[in-house]
Chains A and B, each alone.
Chain A
């Protein structure tokens, strides 16, 4: 069965044509650095070998848009502390279970007896709360603006139905502040951004207009199939070639430029910005994390339980911070593929399938890159 909006965006012939157009759009002798913001793009790039179709002077740099990768160790420890509380059922997405905290993972805590359950959605967690009215059910919420509306709707549902034994440990983050932090960083010179298509279904493309306006870099909001990504890279290079600098939307078949008014409204009702939030490898970034608003304070896990809030430094060997900032490639990390593997990750970038290290490792980039070295 063929499928509209899928097959044509995985078509190898179209990919080759775009690769030729990209080659024609670059100036020989100039090096181009393009950041794909979203971990979903990183995954697709290595799954489909998009980078193999690019000229040598077009370099893809992996951005911070992987929800699991940006969770700091201290925040994992906070989750484990709550999961070990009496009578708690702690729920989270599967990837969260394997993120190393300072001493163990949630998976380890589960093996030691804590009642920790993997769920696919906050609604699943609420369902558990309804079926176990004598237990306290905590949902550990992570993710960018793509996931936050789901948590918000579940909280609205819990409030409307008067469910008292459900709470949310909110670690949702927003994508614009870390991008601004990266653009302010002296470590990195970027020529353009492949914009995060799914985040833009919620926030729209407008929040990214500061990148061309304030920093003079093009942004192209992109879909996730290989042809989407190639076309977006071409659109960025054409902007540079033409001396233009703006936000363009390659993913018009899905993303309305204004985003989803309904999703933004429910997020505004349920969340408010934290003054600061710690990002793995990026440190504290102001107004970059979400917490529950006053109207939903009764559902805030951090108000129900003592949460340690201890800041834990990353292990010395781990270079996730540099990977998340695009300063080094995954394979340039000292422990990549040796001490740190998807089976036994040291760093968060090796945990999620959207993490740059896991994407490199799982799609055989490791061997190829080492041969080049």
Chain B
């Protein structure tokens, strides 16, 4: 999922999925999440940051 907004205080990021749907994602397992990052999300939690570039 693509990170749109980061709420570092609450440990959450608003992310958008491939289908355009948005949801809040737990980001406690990932260091320094920024808008524009792509995260591997499972059951509402980001497990990894991945490099995925739209071309």
Which residues does A use to contact B, with CB under 8 Å? 1-6, 93, 120-124, 143, 146-147, 149-151, 153-154, 156-157, 198, 201-202, 253-254, 260, 262-263, 266
Which residues on A sit within 8 Å (CB–CB) of B51?
A: 4-5, 253
- Starting from the known contacts A149-B42, A201-B48, 5 additional A-B residue pairs (CB-CB under 8 Å) come to A2-B54, A121-B44, A147-B43, A201-B40, A201-B47
Closest Cβ of chain A: how far from B11's Cβ, in Å?
Answer: 8
Cα distance, A354 to B42, chains bound together (Å): 15
Question: In the complex, are the beta carbons of B47 and A149 less than 8 A apart?
Answer: yes
**CB-contact partner of A3 in B23, B24, B47, B52, under 8 A:** B52
Closest Cβ of chain B: how far from A122's Cβ, in Å?
Answer: 7
Give the residue name and chain of the A residue nearest to B10 (CB). A157
Question: In the complex, are the beta carbons of A263 and B43 less than 8 A apart?
Answer: no
**CB-contact partner of B40 in A120, A154, A254, A266, under 8 A:** A254
Cα distance, A147 to B41, chains bound together (Å): 10
Question: In the complex, are the beta carbons of B28 and A150 less than 8 A apart?
Answer: no
Which residues on B sit within 8 Å (CB–CB) of A201?
A: 40, 47-48
Give the residue name and chain of the A residue nearest to B12 (CB). A123
- What size tier do the contact residues of chain B reach? 20 to 34
Which residues on A sit within 8 Å (CB–CB) of B47?
A: 146, 149, 198, 201-202, 260, 263
Closest Cβ of chain B: how far from A263's Cβ, in Å?
Answer: 5
* CB pairs A–B below 8 angstroms (25 shown): A1-B54, A2-B54, A2-B55, A3-B55, A5-B50, A5-B52, A6-B52, A93-B43, A121-B23, A122-B43, A123-B24, A123-B26, A123-B45, A147-B43, A150-B42, A151-B43, A153-B45, A154-B26, A156-B28, A157-B11, A198-B40, A198-B42, A201-B48, A262-B28, A263-B29
Give the residue name and chain of the B residue nearest to A2 (CB). B55
Question: In the complex, are the beta carbons of B44 and A260 less than 8 A apart?
Answer: no
Question: In the complex, are the beta carbons of B50 and A120 less than 8 A apart?
Answer: no
Cα distance, A293 to B55, chains bound together (Å): 46
**CB-contact partner of A120 in B30, B44, B53, under 8 A:** B44
Give the residue name and chain of the B residue nearest to A255 (CB). B48
Question: In the complex, are the beta carbons of B55 and A123 less than 8 A apart?
Answer: no
Question: In the complex, are the beta carbons of B53 and A121 less than 8 A apart?
Answer: no
Question: In the complex, are the beta carbons of B50 and A254 less than 8 A apart?
Answer: yes
Which residues on B sit within 8 Å (CB–CB) of A6?
A: 52
Cα distance, A1 to B20, chains bound together (Å): 14
Which residues on B sit within 8 Å (CB–CB) of A149?
A: 29, 42, 45, 47
Which residues on B sit within 8 Å (CB–CB) of A260?
A: 29, 47-48
**CB-contact partner of B44 in A2, A3, A124, A202, under 8 A:** A124
Question: In the complex, are the beta carbons of A120 and B29 less than 8 A apart?
Answer: no
Cα distance, A106 to B50, chains bound together (Å): 36
Cα distance, A122 to B44, chains bound together (Å): 7
Closest Cβ of chain B: how far from A19's Cβ, in Å?
Answer: 27
Cα distance, A262 to B48, chains bound together (Å): 10
Closest Cβ of chain A: how far from B45's Cβ, in Å?
Answer: 4
Which residues on A sit within 8 Å (CB–CB) of B50?
A: 5, 253-254
